[in-house]
Every structure is written in structure tokens, then in C-alpha cells.
Amino acid sequence: MLTLAGIEPFAIGGTRRCYVHPDDDQLCVKVLRADRTARARLATATGWRRLKGRRGFDDQRKELKAYRQLERRGWRNWRHVPLCHGAVQTDLGLGIVTALHRDWRGRFPPNLEQVLPGGMTEPLAKAIEEFKKWLRRDLFLSRDLLPHNIIAVADAPERHRLVIVDGIGNSELVPVSNWFDLCARRKVERKIRKFEQRVRILLPTPADATP
């Protein structure tokens, strides 16, 4: 059992708290926020959502399943998605252990929602292109590619790399994209198109620059 209570999380998302693993500072442990457990969410769900049942609200279980699917596909490229080391019991509930990505100075990287409003830079533009190329080449299946779930890791001051830390796996009810490459390709294109729109929205408009 891992003790996390008393440690300050390095990031808190909409659903989870992210900690540096107490025994290995290269690893990240994610646990559900107390208000986002499957039990808490089912208790406040209304209408048809209640039909999903407790399992339908368990994001940790979904993410572990997505990682298992990658493993089954023989996935080896962990440049743009963190390597998962499985689950661990913690005093704050089930934790998912993954590689923790840091920049060249050892700092925690910002996510795209945090960096894009500061404007596009050459290293960032290159990193976005590389990321899209990778999604297409490896047919990486994800839920929506949301900027706050993608971090911009500066491996060097002028060399950035995008890593998707949340939203991995296939959201389809009938997972046709897992079975047919053509469906997967179409899905990846759809996700990229929407991702590009989100990036554009976050960038400052020329009007922001005028005093």
C-alpha cells in the first residue's frame, strides 16, 4: 500500500490528482479525486446516465483497459504516450502508475491549454506536426484530443515533444476502429481535425497583441 496522503500533488486535473511516486521520482501516480470516484459520480448522476452503473463511471478502470489494449497490439513507442506500469493500491484509492515526463531542467511540463495562449513558437509548431504524424502512422486511438490532456515536454530549449497523458483508448460503443484500419484512420483524421480547431482557438488573436 502506497501512502500519498500528506504529499502535495504536482498537478490536479478535472478528475484526478497526480503525484510523484514516493519511491521513484521518474514515475507518476494518479488517483481519483474524492469527488470523482465512481461511487460519488453515480450518486449525483441523473436521468439515463444512472443506467451506466458504477463501472461506467470508473475512469481509472477505463484507462487501465486502454493500456492493456495497447499492450495487446504490441505497442512499443512510448515517445508520445507515457509507459504504464500498472495499478497500485494507495491510501487514496486505486492508483495508476505511469512514466512521469519532465523537461530538460527536471521541471513539470505545461499542458497545451497552458502554453498556447502564450503564442505559437517554432519548437511547438514542430512538436504539433510530429505528434500528428505519429497519431496517423501508429493509428493511435484516443478519445477527444483535448489540449489540457497533452503536455509540451521541452527535451531541450528548442526541441519540444507532445505527450498525451489522458484520454487514451477508444470511446466507440462498438469498437470498429480496433478491428479495421480504415475505420481507425478515419477516426484519427476526425480527432486531428478537431484538435487543430482547439489549438487555433487557444492561440492569441492579433487583437490580443494590440495595446
Residues forming the site for ligand ADP (CB under 6 A): 11, 13-16, 18, 28, 30, 82, 98, 100-101, 108-109, 111, 148-149, 151, 165-166
197 phi/psi in degrees, rounded to 5: -60, -45
Phi/psi of residue 154, nearest 5 degrees: -85, 100
60 is a contact residue toward Mg ion (CB under 5 A): no
Smaller CB separation from ligand ADP, 124 or 184: 124
30 binds, among Mg ion, ligand ADP, none (CB under 5 to 8 A by kind): ligand ADP
The least CB distance from residue 14 to Mg ion, in Å, is 6
Q: Which three cell numbers stand for residue 112?
A: 497545451
Measured from each CB, the residue nearest to ligand ADP is 13
Nearest to Mg ion of 12, 203 (CB atom): 12
- Which residues are within 8 A (CB) of 1 and not within 5 positions of it... i.e. 6 or more apart? 89, 90, 91
CB atoms within 10 A of CB 178: 16
Residues in 138-177 at the binding interface with Mg ion, rule: CB under 5 A: 149, 166
Strands lying side by side in the sheet with 11-12: 11-12, 16-21, 24-32, 93-99, 84-90
13 vs 183, beta carbon nearer ligand ADP: 13
CA-to-CA separations, 62 to 71, 96, 103, 132, 155, in angstroms, rounded: 14, 11, 28, 24, 30
Binding residues for Mg ion, how many (CB under 5 A)? 3
**What is the Cα–Cα distance from 104 to 73, expressed in whole angstroms?**
31
Closest CA to 98 of 67, 53, 139, 125: 67
98 vs 170 by CB, closer to ligand ADP: 98
Residues between 12 and 51 with contacts to Mg ion, criterion CB under 5 A: 13
Minimum gap (Å) between residue 187 Cβ and ligand ADP: 21
Q: Which is nearer to Mg ion, 36 or 126 (CB)?
A: 36
User: Rule CB under 5 A: which residues touch Mg ion?
Assistant: 13, 149, 166
